[in-house]
Amino acid sequence: MRSTPVAIVGPLLGAIAGVTSVIFTTFVGANPAKMVALPMGVGLLGFLVLDPKKLLLTILALRSAGDLLLDSTRIAVGGHEIGVGGLLNAFVILVVALLVLEKPRLVPPRALAMWAGLLLAATVGVALSPVKVEAVRTSLGLISWFAVFTGAFYVVRSPADFRFCIRLVLWSSVIPVTYALVELVTGGGMRAEGVRLQGTFAHPNIFAFYLTAVIATTLYAIKCREMAVPTPARVVATAYMLLLIGLLILTKTRSAWVACFFIFAIFGGFCERRYLLYLLAAPILALLMPGVQERLADLAAGNDYVQYARLNSFAWRRLLWETALGWMTPDHYVLGYGLDSFRQYSVTFFPLSNPADIGPGAHNVYVQLFFELGVLGLIAFFWLFGRLASWLRSLATTDRRGSVIASGLALAYLVASVSDNMFSYLSFNWYFWFLQGAACALALAKIPDPSGASAAHSATIAGTGGSQPAGTAVS
């Protein structure tokens, strides 16, 4: 008598599930957060099959709330930690890859051209790196930036779609802001240097730069006429922006303060001059806050490196940069020492590093790029932002305020790159590059075609079929 398929497959699947459960439980232990890693991966895979675009938007809507949870899912494997965070990175790249394979002509060639140099330099950097696993991880992070930038072209097909993206980023801030308020009330943000809020992020700096991006987005929502925000909602949005600025101050991230100042200064200079008056009053009001006074006073002492002396944060960074550049040899000026190599070698050249631990990061994107990827990496980075600036300039013909705010946010990124490890802030970079990609896509969507028809994305990139009419929001 023949066995039925169910009789054979059922016990087999049961055995496989049992063995898998034992192995998985051995790895994760009793940590509830780690226990959800496998089911979450299966769920993401199912979502990917059903609707890749909605999966991308869902990840972006929730990623801001995920750092602490995702960090708790990490599992040590072979001396390296892996977790759901890495799984999300892979899914974002895979989602956009599927979208590109389905409709490759929706991606403008200039988008590929502006990113090609940095991604190629990173690939070379992986080959040269003394720490291959970390280099591959960083390289995949850069690819995920490119993915969310590219994914924006599949979301924004009209001005209404762009407004949808603005609302998406604003709604993504609700959980982090609420968590930060609870953190403030309960004293969870207390550190050695006083209160430093970090919200749902792994570090106050990441929260600070995320807030900077959301503040810029809120400013656009308030000031853009096409958002059609009614007066009561505009009042609420303005109050919310002031709350965001207050939380930004409480992160005590000085470079993010400067970045936010640049955004408002550029908006005031090009759009509404009265904002320049607000900026004149803002530092005076800020100096009345004890926390701000302490952070600024920290820069007044500890500027000289002598034995046993405590350097302030800027003098510490300056010593780090000087010793890094002095340690480099000319034969590495072109290609550098390899991706993610700065931490590996800083324990050798930086006198304040701990020999028993991995060295500090560069705290300067330009020094990091020169050290790890050489002059070619620096050129590729400036090419990326140069092409972005050119693209955003073309948006000014139809959305001046959008162009100015997006450009201000990009300039703020470059300013913050002087003193921060911006490449390490993955979740912030996702929102930054998604907003920039959406702005670039809007510039294409608003370019009139030669026949004088309305600005449909399909009129700009031939062969898309014009399946979505202008003005139709992405659901």
Q: What is the pLDDT of residues 181-206, one digit of tens each?
A: 999 998 876 676 667 899 999 999 99
Q: Same domain for 19 and 64?
A: yes
Q: Same domain for 97 and 156?
A: no
> Is 4 part of a structural domain of the chain?
no
Segment 440-449, tens digit of pLDDT: 999 988 655 4
> Is 471 part of a structural domain of the chain?
no
What is the C-alpha separation between 303 and 316, in angstroms, rounded? 8
Residue 282 has a pLDDT of 75
Residue 212: pLDDT over 60: yes
What is the C-alpha separation between 155 and 103, in angstroms, rounded? 12
Residue 161: pLDDT over 80: yes
Question: For the chain, how many residues are written?
Answer: 475
Segment 104-134, tens digit of pLDDT: 999 999 999 999 999 999 999 999 999 999 9
Domain-ending residue, one of 60, 86, 102: 102
| 405/51: higher pLDDT | 405
What is the C-alpha separation between 391 and 53, in angstroms, rounded? 24
> Is 410 part of a structural domain of the chain?
yes
Q: Same domain for 431 and 450?
A: yes
Could you tell me the pLDDT band of residue 311, with boundaries at 50, 70 and 90? confident
Lowest mean pLDDT among 17-26, 105-114, 215-224, 309-318: 17-26
Residue 470 has a pLDDT of 37
Domain count for the chain: 2
310 token code pair:
């405590």
Amino acid letter for position 199: G
Domain-ending residue, one of 69, 102, 135: 102
Q: Same domain for 123 and 62?
A: no
Residue 297 has a pLDDT of 58
Contacting residues for 383 by C-beta, under 8 A, at least 6 apart = 114, 117, 118
Q: Same domain for 221 and 256?
A: yes
Q: Same domain for 48 and 185?
A: no
Q: Do residues 215 and 412 touch, judged by C-beta distance below 8 A?
A: no
Range(s) of the domain holding residue 41: 12-102
> Is 6 part of a structural domain of the chain?
no
Which residue is it, tokens 């920039």?
436
| 294/172: higher pLDDT | 172
Residue 22: pLDDT over 60: no
Which DSSP symbol is given to 252?
T
Could you tell me the pLDDT band of residue 303, with boundaries at 50, 70 and 90? very low
Nearest to residue 405, comparing CAs of 436, 434, 382, 433? 436
Could you tell me the pLDDT band of residue 454, with boundaries at 50, 70 and 90? very low
> Is 470 part of a structural domain of the chain?
no
Mean pLDDT of 73-98: 75
CB atoms within 10 A of CB 259: 27
> Is 282 part of a structural domain of the chain?
yes
Could you tell me the pLDDT band of residue 226, with boundaries at 50, 70 and 90? confident
Segment 397-415, tens digit of pLDDT: 989 999 999 999 999 999 9
Residue 25 has a pLDDT of 54
Residue 70 has a pLDDT of 75
Contacting residues for 134 by C-beta, under 8 A, at least 6 apart = 340, 343
330 token code pair:
């000319």
| 20/456: higher pLDDT | 20
Amino acid letter for position 257: W
Q: Same domain for 142 and 214?
A: yes
Domain-ending residue, one of 73, 102, 131: 102
What is the C-alpha separation between 146 and 153, in angstroms, rounded? 12
Reported pTM: 0.83
| 31/364: higher pLDDT | 364
